[in-house]
Amino acid sequence: MALYRLIYVSQAVSGIGYLDLIDIMQKSEKNNMPVGITGMLSFGDSMFLQVLEGSRRTVCQTYNRILGDKRHVNPELIEFTEIDHREFGLWSMKAVQIDNHPEIRNTLLKYSYSTTFSPYSMTGNQCLSFLHEIMGIYQNK
């Protein structure tokens, strides 16, 4: 069956913090694993950047459900594409906080114009490479 990857960015509503991220991650693990969705969710500077991988139907169903969540606004689809293999296959949804750790901010600067997390202005390839490197940093932590 064909595999798809979807990347989107959205803005957290005011008051969203680490505890909400934990709640989202727990729900995601519960819902994503049975339907074969994998991916990564990053959160920082009031922005969400998420990648979802799986079958076309499950990726679309999950994305449509996420779009209805009142904890974020102004979603923008960055990429929806067929892929040969998963990049984030180890995780039903890994949530990471883009904090002020120098290694994370340096990785951000590598793929965008400043050290502020602003994925609205990043390309799909930049988002993917950024998430990939962040995944490596967190795997080694």
Measured from the CB atom, the residue of 26 and 106 that comes closer to ligand FAD is 26
Are the CB atoms for 11 and 72 separated by under 8 Å? Answer: yes
Query: 139: Cβ–Cβ under 8 A, 6 or more apart, which residues?
Result: none
Binding flag, residue 70, ligand FAD (CB under 6 A): yes
User: Among the candidate windows 70-78, 99-107, 116-124, 126-134, which touches ligand FAD by CB under 6 A?
Assistant: 70-78
CA neighbours closer than 13 Å in the CB half-sphere of residue 23: 7
Measured from the CB atom, the residue of 99 and 103 that comes closer to ligand FAD is 99
Binding flag, residue 86, ligand FAD (CB under 6 A): no
**Smallest distance, ligand FAD to C-beta of residue 4, A:** 14
Measured from the CB atom, the residue of 48 and 117 that comes closer to ligand FAD is 48
**Smallest distance, ligand FAD to C-beta of residue 50, A:** 5
How far separated are the first and last CA of the chain, in Å rounded? Answer: 34
How far is residue 12's CA from residue 73's CA, in Å, rounded to a whole number? 6
User: Among the candidate windows 26-34, 82-90, 106-114, 125-133, which touches ligand FAD by CB under 6 A?
Assistant: 26-34
Contact residues toward ligand FAD (CB under 6 A) are 10, 23-24, 27-28, 31-32, 41, 48, 50, 62, 65-66, 68-72, 93
